[in-house]
A and B are shown apart, each in its own frame.
Chain A
């Protein structure tokens, strides 16, 4: 548990070093109701924030990043009101008919560069792509590096009987795909999600699952997991509640404006008691 706390402390530190809020922070999108039973059309409030604390709002996000996929898996154009508050954004998701809807929030790509300089190898960071970095970097700088960030928040809402269409992978980029249906995340049961890169399994990927409200606990309730050779991440949770699954995947960049392509995925889900 000591190391877990250390890991979390370090992530706070890194966060504060990268001062540009929305790019360095986790981005969460989550519904007030993950599961509902309604035969009439209804709405579910959805919140979006960029933050370092699971489910605690810190920075609001613009509406452009929202993607909604209907029960048939096709993207729905959202036409309702979107309120961008100071530290959180919110909208009402219309829910009509049975099945599972997927919420996504996309941010990026954004480019972050760094180099070291001087006798003490001081680390300098700037929001620049490779071209911009090379145009401005001092001659005596060392270790220049540019990272291309994509950040994806995701969650699911199920009305009445769950459906599978929104769980079908697109086989593009880094994806987190639930194998256990998110409407069936139950305490004490074996839960599985799969990690894919262009449709192929991502093995040995670190994954964190954290229970909401770490600010109220002596020790955060967090699992540190790794995907197996099928890209599967298997876990089980004893405590019901809202959790956040966090994946930070890095690979060499195909984009010439960066050295490293980093995809960060934040999956908001609830676990109910049996």
Chain B
């Protein structure tokens, strides 16, 4: 980490000088499953902080008039889903296996916990969380593949 100290310092300085300009890039993979009944998983990405909670992404079964299985995205449902509508811009249809890269504008928070929850019908469920403090020098987080999540990298950057 120290090899690129000057770069890190530059990022750190710019991040702390303008928190609201920070972005979060989420690179993740939905793995293939060789099963008879594969259903594209539900994916929720959100932030939890003392001050507020915010959904960044929600992929679910859009073709259903009202999706009655949102409750199965268990933590997201308990923390956010059950309290109201999720904005249209954030939601999307479920997607099959593959690599995805999504970049989000971060709200004005210094410290928060990042969550991604992936739930597959007739399959498993994976929940990954990471505490993030924008005043820290760390700006990349890698996670090993785990069940429903083929891999995950979080990159904090500027707009």
Q: Which A residues have a C-beta under 8 Å from some C-beta of B?
A: 35-40, 42, 158, 160-162, 183-184, 186, 272-274
Contact = CB atoms under 8 A, between A and B. Distances in A.
A162 B71 CA distance: 13
Nearest to B78: A184
Nearest to A34: B71
Contacts of A161: 82-84
B125 A273 contact: yes
B77 interface: yes
Interface string B50-86: 0000000000000000111011001101100111100
B127 interface: yes
Contact of B74 (A40, A42, A158, A274): A274
Interface residues of B, number: 15
Given A36-B68, A38-B68, A40-B66, A274 B127 contact: yes
A180 to B, nearest CB: 12
B106 to A, nearest CB: 24
A251 B6 CA distance: 74
Interface of B: 66-68, 70-71, 74-75, 77-78, 81-84, 125, 127
A42 B125 CA distance: 26
A37 B127 contact: no
A274 B129 CA distance: 11
A274 B78 CA distance: 9
A145 to B, nearest CB: 48
A188 to B, nearest CB: 12
Nearest to A33: B71
Contact of A37 (B70, B75, B125): B70
Given A273-B125, A274-B127, A37 B74 contact: no
Contacts of A183: 78, 82
B82 A160 contact: yes
A37 B81 CA distance: 9
Contacts of B74: 272-274
Contacts of A158: 82
A37 B78 contact: no
Contact of B77 (A37, A38, A39, A42): A37
Given A37-B68, A272-B74, 4 more contacts: A35-B77, A160-B82, A161-B84, A272-B78
A38 B66 contact: yes
A39 B67 CA distance: 9
Q: Taking each of B71, B84, B125, which has the highest tally of chain A beta carbons within 10 Å of its own beta carbon?
A: B71
A36 to B, nearest CB: 6
Contacts of B77: 35, 37
A160 B74 CA distance: 12
A251 B78 CA distance: 39
A37 B83 contact: no
Contacts of A272: 74, 78
Contacts of B66: 38-40
Contacts of A186: 78
Nearest to B67: A37
A190 to B, nearest CB: 15
A162 B127 contact: no
Contacts of A274: 74-75, 127
Given A273-B125, A274-B74, A162 B82 contact: yes
